[in-house]
Chains A and B, each alone.
Chain A
Amino acid sequence: MTLSLQVKNLTVYYQTLKGPIRALEAATFDVADGEIMGLAGESGCGKTTLGRSLIHLTPPMKYIHGSVRLDDEEPPIWDTERMNEFRFKKISIIPQYAMNAMNPTRRIGKMTEELLRSRKVDFRTLLPEIKRRLALVELRDDVLDLYPIELSGGMKQRMVMVLSTLLNPSLLIADEITSALDVSSQKAVAEMLVEFRDRGCCTSAIVITHDISILYQIADSILIMYAGQLAEKGTTETIIHAPRHPYTKLLISSLPKVGVKHSEKRLAGIPGSPPMLLHPPQGCRFRERCPVAFEKCLEEPPFVEIESNHSVACWKESYPNAQA
């Protein structure tokens, strides 16, 4: 299995007048060729920061340290100018605001042409492929003659999906692409993303979402983040059915499943709220909400592989004396 993306110790802070907000701390993970990795967590956990760091790291975001390896290259993510060679060609993103991502003053076809010209690609030679992909997302060819305002939200979302993957990037970052959609469109868009991967429109993908049940449907592996740090990574089945980190366990058990009724089984949330990342607490950041925290948790737990393809940042799992 070849690795498409390797991220090592990536740390990114937000620069503010009060001091650095430690939004992403020492992220280390890899994504294999053809893998769809889900990235999940609550709002403010750093999942969007991680996604954006890989493609467009701009102030107030500040690169602290860490390295990224994509195929055989090392994209200089700290250098916005030099990243231009990678952006769109090698790494592409479907942003969270995809509904407003298109230039409202240009017809979509014209805009696509300009976009491709900026990467020195000829629109005409690519046109048959564009049409094939439009058909794939069930859009008609004539959307190219329309202005973005003439499309519905779901159609814009699908159009941006086609645009983002036109140059077959190695890595596609999809940030909350299904959250604003209705259940039926949600399923359609999620399935289209898988089909894009299957057809090689992108080699591998990171799907950022807060909705774990969507990831269970489409992702090969899931990475759970909490308060700027990685909590757990494993295959989808492992994370959903056999999670080891207390946060993952609580998060998954708090999701209402179809068929569960309040009168029969009362679900519980996670008491407390995530820490402020301006001055994050010492040690494990989940410590204060964790039902199984003990003295060792005052030290920061390392993100270690406890079994093949399953890593956890929790002392209960990695500290030998903790199990007893």
Chain B
Amino acid sequence: MLRLDGVSKVYKVGTFGGKRLEAVSHVSFQVNEGEVVSLIGESGSGKSTIGKMILRLLPITSGTIYFDDVDIATLKGSALKEYYRRVQGVFQDPFSSYNPIFKADRIFRVIREEFFPAVPLAAWEDKVGKSLKAVGLNPDQVLDKFPHQLSGGQLQRFLIARALLLDVRFLVADEIISMLDASTRIDVLNLLADLKSRGLSILFITHDLSLAHYISERAIILYRGCIAEMGLTEKIFNYPLHPYTKMLMASVPRLDKKWENGKTPLPAKPPGLTGGCVYYERCPAGIEACTHARPPLLEIEKDHRVACIRYRTE
């Protein structure tokens, strides 16, 4: 349904924009109907940039994003509006998604004015009520309130309800759980899972591996803009191949297992070399050949791809 084909994003940085920073580098993947795909990476890995490019909040430097086989960069005017009817995003900080001087339910009114001007008010209110119930909120308790009167979990569910008002088929969920408390985050996560079973596709952007494993069928591990490993969640979590994925799996704080001893390598400075593997500077298994060329993303077994030179010949 949504397909990224060799997508890159280069930011111009430095005082006069003279330097280039490749935030996303030749990323290709696909999200199918009714599927949750987790995009996992540390800060600066380019995961949010990918989400923003899908939502057309950022222009793509090179490559193409297809939605239903249409290049989204070509969409204009009413076609673009149609696109936003189907593709929506929810972001990390629910408090900054609202204008604090207006009541929170203004976001629903704006949707009506923009997308459904023909729907009569009574029918619209009915639709809003249904959509709020679908995300587990009681309309009487949450409508007609200012953002500060609602909790983070409620506001986050408000935003998902807003997306549901449209005939949304693809949701970009960018770190939507990380600001929520433990007791409410699991409810929002379950909500996403329910929506998935109703046919919604979700790109779940996160840095939390246990959340990603809980909800997604497939996972993509990003490191410095490059895909390190992707495939079925089980395979990635149980049989990680890339040294970076292995290190991540060993660092996750778990309740059933203590950390193994041994020093955790800290993130190195931005890479000096440009040609080789982006993980080379932190990699415990790096060899000289890693500096020559960026390893291609190869399919090692069915639904499991990895970009590491050690898996080239097998």
Known: A258-B213, A258-B237, A268-B186. A188 touches B264 (CB 8 A): yes
A138 at the interface (CB under 8 A from B): yes
B262: min CB distance to chain A, Å? 9
- Complex Cα distance A294/B280, Å? 60
Judged by DSSP, the binding face of B is: helix
B259 touches A191 (CB 8 A): yes
A184 touches B183 (CB 8 A): no
B220-248: contact bitstring with A at CB < 8 Å (1 yes, 0 no)? 00000000000001000100000000011
What is the total number of residues of chain B having a CB less than 8 Å from a CB of chain A?
Answer: 39
Residue of B nearest to A214 (CB): B253
Residue of A nearest to B214 (CB): A256
Chain A contact-residue range equals: 35 or more
The stretch that binds B, out of A53-61, A67-75, A205-213, A316-324, is A205-213
A115 at the interface (CB under 8 A from B): no
A42 touches B181 (CB 8 A): yes
- CB within 8 A of A273: which of B151, B210, B211? B151
B32 at the interface (CB under 8 A from A): no
Residue of A nearest to B213 (CB): A258
Chain A residues whose CB sits within 8 angstroms of the CB of B185 once the complex forms:
269
Known: A217-B259, A256-B210. A269 touches B184 (CB 8 A): yes
Residue of B nearest to A178 (CB): B253
A20: min CB distance to chain B, Å? 20
A261 touches B213 (CB 8 A): yes
- Complex Cα distance A123/B205, Å? 46
Chain B residues whose CB sits within 8 angstroms of the CB of A212 once the complex forms:
182, 255
B251-292: contact bitstring with A at CB < 8 Å (1 yes, 0 no)? 111111011000111110000000000000000000000000
A166-195: contact bitstring with B at CB < 8 Å (1 yes, 0 no)? 000000000000000011111110110000
A251 touches B251 (CB 8 A): no
State which residues 240-266 of A face B: CB under 8 Å.
Answer: 240, 250-252, 254-263, 266
A86-121: contact bitstring with B at CB < 8 Å (1 yes, 0 no)? 000000000000000000000000000000000000
B212: min CB distance to chain A, Å? 9
Known: A262-B215, A273-B151. A257 touches B253 (CB 8 A): no
Chain A residues whose CB sits within 8 angstroms of the CB of B263 once the complex forms:
188, 191
B251 touches A186 (CB 8 A): yes
Residue of B nearest to A272 (CB): B183
B193 touches A213 (CB 8 A): no
A259 touches B42 (CB 8 A): no
B48: min CB distance to chain A, Å? 14
Chain A residues whose CB sits within 8 angstroms of the CB of B237 once the complex forms:
258-259
Chain B residues whose CB sits within 8 angstroms of the CB of A257 once the complex forms:
210, 254-256
- CB within 8 A of B182: which of A42, A185, A263, A266? A42
B93 at the interface (CB under 8 A from A): no
B214 touches A260 (CB 8 A): yes
State which residues 96-146 of B face A: CB under 8 Å.
Answer: none
B210 touches A262 (CB 8 A): no
Residue of A nearest to B187 (CB): A269
A259 touches B259 (CB 8 A): no
State which residues 167-217 of B face A: CB under 8 Å.
Answer: 181-187, 189-190, 193, 207, 209-211, 213-215
B96: min CB distance to chain A, Å? 16
- Complex Cα distance A140/B253, Å? 28
A255 touches B251 (CB 8 A): no
A126-138: contact bitstring with B at CB < 8 Å (1 yes, 0 no)? 0000000000001
Chain A residues whose CB sits within 8 angstroms of the CB of B190 once the complex forms:
262, 266-269
B32: min CB distance to chain A, Å? 16
- Complex Cα distance A183/B265, Å? 11
Q: Of B183, B213, B233, B259, which is in contact with the most chain A CB atoms at under 10 Å from its CB? A: B183
Chain A residues whose CB sits within 8 angstroms of the CB of B207 once the complex forms:
182-183
A216 at the interface (CB under 8 A from B): yes
Chain A residues whose CB sits within 8 angstroms of the CB of B61 once the complex forms:
none
- CB within 8 A of B266: which of A154, A190, A214, A217? A154
A270 at the interface (CB under 8 A from B): yes
- CB within 8 A of A250: which of B183, B259, B265? B183
A258 touches B209 (CB 8 A): yes
B144-156: contact bitstring with A at CB < 8 Å (1 yes, 0 no)? 0000000101000
A43 at the interface (CB under 8 A from B): yes
B62 at the interface (CB under 8 A from A): no
A211 touches B215 (CB 8 A): no
A254 touches B183 (CB 8 A): yes
Chain A residues whose CB sits within 8 angstroms of the CB of B184 once the complex forms:
269-270, 273
What are 27 A-B pairs with beta-carbon distances under 8 A? Answer: A42-B182, A154-B266, A182-B42, A182-B43, A182-B207, A182-B267, A183-B207, A183-B248, A184-B42, A184-B265, A185-B267, A186-B251, A188-B266, A190-B253, A191-B259, A210-B181, A210-B182, A213-B210, A213-B255, A214-B253, A216-B253, A217-B259, A254-B183, A261-B214, A262-B215, A263-B193, A270-B183
A: which residues have CB within 8 A of B?
42-43, 138, 152-154, 182-188, 190-191, 210-214, 216-217, 240, 250-252, 254-263, 266-270, 273
- Extra 20 A-B pairs, beta carbons < 8 Å, given A154-B267, A213-B252, A269-B187: A42-B181, A154-B266, A182-B43, A183-B207, A183-B252, A183-B253, A186-B253, A187-B251, A187-B259, A187-B264, A191-B259, A214-B253, A255-B182, A256-B210, A257-B255, A258-B254, A262-B190, A263-B193, A267-B186, A273-B184
